[in-house]
Amino acid sequence: MIVVDPARIDAAEQFAALSAAGAGGIATFVGLVRADDGVATLELEHYPGATEAALQRLVDEARERWALIDARITHRVGAMAPGDVVVFVGTAAPHRAPALEACAFLIDRLKTDAPFWKKETRGDETRWVEPRGSDDAAAARWTL
Amino acid sequence: MLYFAWVRERIGRGGEMVDPPGDVVTVADLIGWLANGSAVHGAAFADPARLRAAVDQVFVPLDAVLGSAREVAIFPPVTGG
């Protein structure tokens, strides 16, 4: 299940929606807006259509590589504040290893493969976030 | 054409229709043709190493051939999650 939406993400609601029928383990990653050096607002831009398709490809690949019962990615777009949930990734599997590995795969590859762009506002100053080399390295470890 | 993030801001709009000449074969050719056509595009596309592209919603390298592409997007490296 893929959701890209400006609505506030409730992590407990997302967790409850993760289909756990028959699961022996559930793994989740919840990304929050950091208040780095006084960030007041974070704006997330995306590429409608292409973003959802990129996330769906990641979920499809995760389901091919690991025995999963369910996988869901919910990503917020638009303006948000420090402490808000930006992204929820959840996986359910018969055992812990596929759940944990697939969850890490999904968030690592989302960072490099899905078209989202972050803009931070501090006081009167706005700046587009630059990509980090460590994100490329984290995504590359999942290359087969 | 579709533009996102600071590329969109520098060009001043999120998209436009273009009709490039026959010698525009790759995404890089298209970027070069647009950059030569206006100062605003020239400034936005000044450093192609900072640009990424998608053709018909699929990420491609800048040397990808356009073929019969209907939608080309130009944007900075992604920073989601």
Distances in whole angstroms, Cα of residue A108 to Cα of each of A113, B12, B14, B36, B48: 9, 32, 28, 37, 25
- Give the closest-approach CA distance of A109 to chain B in angstroms: 9
Say what the ipTM of the complex is.
Answer: 0.94
In A, minimum Cα distance to B3 occurs at A47
Across the interface, of B57, B59, B76, the residue whose CB is closest to A117 is B76
| B71 part of contact set with chain A, CB < 8 Å | no
What pLDDT does residue A133 have?
85
User: Cβ of B53: how many Cβ atoms within 10 Å?
Assistant: 22
Residue A109 to residue A93: CA distance in whole angstroms: 19
Q: With contact defined as beta carbons under 8 Å apart, do B26 and B66 qualify? A: yes
A94 to chain B, minimum CA–CA distance in Å? Answer: 26
Six-digit token string for A144: 């087969």
Contact B79 A75 (CB under 8 A): no
Which B residues, 27 through 56, put their C-beta within 8 Å of a C-beta on chain A? 54
Fold of A2-135: Aldehyde Oxidoreductase; domain 3 (3.90.1170)
Q: What pTM was estimated for this model as a whole?
A: 0.94
Q: Tell me which chain A residue has its CA closest to the CA of residue B73.
A: A47
Residues in chain A with pLDDT values less than 50: none
Distance CA A103, CA A73 (A): 10
CB-CB contact of B27 with B64 (8 Å): yes
Could B5 and A119 be called an inter-chain contact, meaning their C-beta atoms sit closer than 8 Å?
A: yes
Q: Cα distance from B53 to chain A (closest Cα, Å)?
A: 10
Interchain CB distance below 8 Å, B81 and A116 = yes
Superfamily of domain covering B2-75:
Beta-grasp domain (3.10.20.30)
In angstroms, the CA A42 to CA A130 distance is: 14
Q: H-type helices in chain A, by residue range?
A: 11-17, 50-65, 96-113, 133-140
Amino acid A21: pLDDT: 76
Express each pLDDT in A52-64 by its tens digit: 999 999 999 999 9
Where chain B has pLDDT below 70, the residues are none
Q: Is A117 on the interface with B (CB under 8 A)?
A: yes
Tell me which chain B residue has its CA closest to the CA of residue A135: B79
* Chain B interface includes A47 (CB < 8 A): yes
Helix (H) / strand (E) element for A117: namely strand A116-122
Q: Looking at the complex, report in whole angstroms how far the Cα of residue A129 sits from the nearest Cα belonging to chain B.
A: 7
Look at phi and psi of residue B32 and say left if phi exceeds 0, alpha if psi is from -120 to 50, else beta.
alpha
